[in-house]
Structure 1
Amino acid sequence: MASTQIVQLQSLKPDLHERAWVSIPHPSLPLIATAHGKNVTVFSLSTLSFHSALTDGHARSIRSVAWKPALPPHELCLISGSFDSSAGVWRWNKSSGEDDGDGLGQDMSRGPAGDETAKAGEWDYNLVLEGHDSEVKCCAFNPSGNYLATCSRDKSIWIWEDIASSESEDDWETIAVLNEHEGDVKAVAWCPDVPGRNSVGQRYYSVDVLASASYDNTARIWREDSDGEWVCVAVLQGHEGTVWGVEWEPKPRDNRFPRLMTFSADETIRVWTLEQGEDNADGDGSAMSQGLGGIPSTMRRSFREQWNCTAVLPKVHDKDVYSATWSAESGLIASTGSDGVIALYKEDEAAPSDPPAVSADKDSDGNASLSHNSSAAGGPQWQLLTTVPSAHGPYEINHITWCRRYDAGSTKRGEEEMLVTTGDDGLVQSWRIDVTSS
């Protein structure tokens, strides 16, 4: 029988002295960016130390960051979403001698001769994306990097398209503003580019799929239809509090469409599965009558997708679940939040490939509510492996993510995984997962 432990490694020594919101690893390089105050600090995952800083861009705190994917190794572009209602576009201004990605993962606080003031490069604040009426809560790129989604306290989601003629330039155009949520939009996430992603709605939609989470207790699924209109194709209802975030399954089983994970102020984590058939989309304009709700009648047509809650993970947290992350390598899920607990879950390998939905019960007011069991009978089974209480002492943990290890302590550099947590104490803490047989 195997035993699992979450073992503390070292902090990234950020010395931030203020609340840190998120830490986002670069998709291919050994870098991770942390948002705190009005700044973003980039750390090297090779040295677990300071790499560079993005400063003097925003008038208020930066809440979220996103790395632009699919760039050459020597190009870096980062988006910052701020409480000042704007998103900023930053570009790494490499030195003339830096012609590959090898140096980007090193400690850039010192020059070749050890001079602390000699930088190998610096960040340029190239462009401000304006339009939101209130705080920008989250920003995210689609897999190809040509679309950026931002969401805000103003209840809207904006989708921007990169129309620049070259990778080193910045020219962005707003292509959609989505206003169907009835509360602040807390998070957005694009479906990863994985097998099975294009198997649904090919006649109606582009390949990109966006999920959003809101104060209105719902998550929503969005697609671009054949007329170039972004439409809400599903409203995921069942949470009894703010949905703090959404995370897509990074590596689905059997080439099926990725599942979606949602986590909430109701202390639960739910997994949603798209009901797939020959044609899951309704093209008869009857989405309003199907209970989607919130979709304007002015839309020329709407297509409905059926998403079922197929699992509720074992109850661990006794306060808001602020963040959860799904590993592409192991399939494990880790979560954290207001109670400062880190929890680790594993799905039963024998789980059916097409599980039934979690059944809904009626509460005392006659409203439908989903069971808090770990799964429905016959559905995917999730088990709690281990927990770490007070992982950041008395402080709340705002974010958790899986991240590849590149440091000297890694046995398989660039392949082995670790967890990184970011908290109100300003620390960016790394953790390894130990599995032992007994």
Structure 2
Amino acid sequence: MVIWTSMIWTNAIMCRLEELCKLEAHQDRAWYVAWSPSGKLLASCGGDKAIRIWGQEGDSWVCKSVLSDGHQRTVRRVAWSPCGNYLASSSFDATTTIWSRKGGEFENIATLEGHENEVKCVAWAPNGSLLATCSRDKSVWIWEVTEDEEFECASVLSAHSQDVKHVCWHPSKEILASCSYDDTIKLFKEEIDDWTCFNTLQSHSSTVWKICFDVSGSRLVSCSDDKTVKIWQEYLPGNQEGVVTTGNDSAWKCVCTLSGYHHRVIYDVDWNHLTGLIVTGDGGDAIHIFEEEEGSDKNQPSFNLKVVVNKAHTQDVNCVTWNPKIPDLLASCSDDGVIKLWKYHT
């Protein structure tokens, strides 16, 4: 059944989210959903220790595979490799598992150990040669991926003072961003055969739950327990705006704060690399979509709320993610164990 979930008028254009389908996905809370690079498969994970792979058959989405032998506790995050042939999963059991996809079947080929407790996130670098993990143990680990499917720890980064919630890679450079319970965002790069923190971004007043680069990598969006979304702009050395930089490193400045829209903690944010839309999921069971005003000044950008769905799920919305190939297709998941697919209309 198709449900017109919500609509809002903005600049005389009616925008809405259409609920395409509802998947009873996990027997416990559903923590995360991730599209494959082709946009044709969706991986989900949850408190039931399982990973599910979903694909479309006709007009329906069905579970193609269940990966249930990789972890002993909650699976917190899943991430596809850029080539789509591997899936990484991180768990509260302090491990990260690597799955190889061959002939449509998934095989557990490696278990990465070293974190002292829950691994909160795992992310592949754009070229697939590096993997990053982060944990409640306050550390970020960088793993090198060899041609013979071996994974070797290249660096352990202890820049954060609290639980590290999320890691993500710059879309075109070997720069890693992380965010934490310590209210900060940190940027890392490799220098002289080791990884170092070269920038710390501070503006949030509480836990930073998620960060995401835009398609160019010159902007970053963050969401927080402080109920705000912030847009960060990169300023290169010698920038015409006169923003002070250090050495060859860029400076990052918070240029926009979206506040007053969310009434509970914002758990997730995703920047659509095809359309520029920003979507959030929060502890108030809601989904919000924002769009930058046309002609907006990059140094003081303005964003408009295009859609809000106040009861997108019956419990906390843990994840929202845009399909990488279909610009108006969105997936979400929740503490209610359900995955929903949505179509954005203008």
Q: Same fold, TM exceeding 0.5? A: yes
Residue of structure 2 in register with 1:243 after alignment: 208
Q: Is the Cα contact below 8 Å between 1:313 and 1:383 reproduced in 2? A: no
Describe the SS at the equivalent of 2:174.
Answer: strand
Aligned pair 1:387/2:313, yes or no? no
Residue of structure 2 in register with 1:181 after alignment: 160
Query: 1:85: Cα distance to partner?
Result: 0.5
- Unaligned runs of 5+ residues in structure 2 are 1-11
Describe the SS at the equivalent of 1:391.
Answer: coil
Residue of structure 2 in register with 1:273 after alignment: 233
Residues 214, 416 of structure 1: alpha-carbon distance in 2 compared, 3 angstrom cutoff: closer
Deviations 1:5-32 (A, max 9, x none): 1121111343x22110000000125001
Aligned pair 1:282/2:246, yes or no? yes
Residue of structure 2 in register with 1:259 after alignment: 219
Query: 1:416: Cα distance to partner?
Result: 4.5
Q: Is the Cα contact below 8 Å between 1:221 and 1:232 reproduced in 2? A: yes
Residue of structure 2 in register with 1:425 after alignment: 336
Structure 2 counterparts to residues 20-419 of structure 1, below 5 A: 20-36=30-46, 37-46=48-57, 47-70=60-83, 76-94=85-103, 121-165=104-148, 170-193=149-172, 207-225=173-191, 227-250=192-215, 252=216, 257-278=217-238, 282-283=246-247, 305-353=250-298, 355=299, 379-393=300-314, 395-403=315-323, 415-419=326-330
C-alpha separation in 1, matches of 2:107 and 2:20: 33
C-alpha separation in 2, matches of 1:4 and 1:144: 36
Deviations 1:265-311 (A, max 9, x none): 0000001111223387634xxxxxxxxxxxxxxxxxxx754211001
Counterpart residue type for residue 24 of structure 1: A
Deviations 1:105-159 (A, max 9, x none): xxxxxxxxxxxxxxxx532211110110010000000101110000000000000
C-alpha separation in 1, matches of 2:175 and 2:201: 15
TM-score by length of 2: 0.90
Percent of aligned positions with the same letter in both sequences?
A: 34
Deviations 1:85-116 (A, max 9, x none): 0101111242xxxxxxxxxxxxxxxxxxxxxx
C-alpha separation in 1, matches of 2:246 and 2:236: 13
Describe the SS at the equivalent of 1:125.
Answer: strand
C-alpha separation in 2, matches of 1:422 and 1:336: 9
C-alpha separation in 2, matches of 1:311 and 1:383: 12
Counterpart residue type for residue 241 of structure 1: S
C-alpha separation in 2, matches of 1:305 and 1:390: 40
Counterpart residue type for residue 228 of structure 1: D
C-alpha separation in 2, matches of 1:311 and 1:401: 22
Larger Rg computed on CA atoms: 1
Instruction: Name whichever structure is richer in strand by fraction.
Output: 2
Q: How many residues align?
A: 328
Counterpart residue type for residue 88 of structure 2: I
C-alpha separation in 1, matches of 2:259 and 2:301: 12
Query: 1:403: Cα distance to partner?
Result: 1.4
Residues 339, 242 of structure 1: alpha-carbon distance in 2 compared, 3 angstrom cutoff: same
Query: 1:417: Cα distance to partner?
Result: 2.4
Deviations 1:36-58 (A, max 9, x none): 12110000045411111111111
C-alpha separation in 2, matches of 1:141 and 1:132: 17
Query: 1:240: Cα distance to partner?
Result: 0.8
Q: Is the Cα contact below 8 Å between 1:159 and 1:177 reproduced in 2? A: yes
Aligned pair 1:18/2:28, yes or no? yes
RMSD of the alignment, in Å?
1.7
C-alpha separation in 2, matches of 1:348 and 1:314: 16
